[in-house]
Chains A and B, each alone.
Chain A
Amino acid sequence: EDQVTQSPEALRLQEGESSSLNCSYTVSGLRGLFWYRQDPGKGPEFLFTLYSAGEEKEKERLKATLTKKESFLHITAPKPEDSATYLCAVQGANAGGTSYGKLTFGQGTILTVHP
């Protein structure tokens, strides 16, 4: 069974204070690791897809990296508007029909950036 664990559960930063969010995963045949941002009462918004260990992707103040067991979302010089819940999800291969390629989400990290 695919599993995703995110840490920390909540993170409070001052504006400009860089940090990282962690996503540890176990999956049978990784097809993709996804990062989403979710604002309260809204649907998740896609940020990145990572496919293989060593891959990195950047968007504005965010940079996502991937190893064989973990992914990190690095936030550089965050602003209050970066406050949101960040969700990590994995999509595994159809390993004997146990996951059939559906997304398995972590519990999320609630990020609060204070001005």
Chain B
Amino acid sequence: DTEVTQTPKHLVMGMTNKKSLKCEQHMGHRAMYWYKQKAKKPPELMFVYSYEKLSINESVPSRFSPECPNSSLLNLHLHALQPEDSALYLCASSQVWAGGATNEKLFFGSGTQLSVL
């Protein structure tokens, strides 16, 4: 199984709502990532988890709250989002997070298309 599964595929939420995005992989990878991608732009890194611990937070606003309950699951909790947060949210995984010591191929999920009204 070389898949990263994300749910839901589409999400519409109001600015006062609380919602969560979910990501799952069963490749035994110990690094998991959240990326944000706006239309016609490249993916932007948000968070990196390594061995279930938060390793990198790219100065993401606190209205985005990541969680890694175990080595296979990654969640992104959303609260009080703004319309400019509308984007495709991508989860990815790799064997490890090496922090630049070596290269790591990322496996991406299909993403959650989020619209904030």
Contact = CB atoms under 8 A, between A and B. Distances in A.
A100 B56 contact: yes
Contact of A43 (B92, B100, B104): B92
B102 A31 contact: yes
Nearest to B48: A102
Contact of B108 (A43, A92, A94, A108): A43
B69 interface: no
Contacts of B90: 43-44
Contact of B110 (A32, A43, A95, A105): A43
Contacts of B105: 32, 34, 46, 49
Contact of B100 (A41, A45, A99, A108): A99
Contacts of B92: 43
Contacts, number: 73
Contacts of A103: 45, 106
A102 B45 contact: yes
B44 to A, nearest CB: 8
Contacts of A34: 103, 105-106
DSSP majority for the B interface? Answer: loop
B101 A94 contact: yes
Interface residues of A, number: 29
Contacts of A101: 97-101, 104
B110 A31 contact: no
Contacts of B56: 100, 102
A18 B102 CA distance: 33
Given A87-B42, A100-B56, A102-B48, A49 B103 contact: yes
A42 interface: yes
Given A101-B98, A102-B56, A107-B42, A51 B103 contact: yes
B100 A107 contact: no
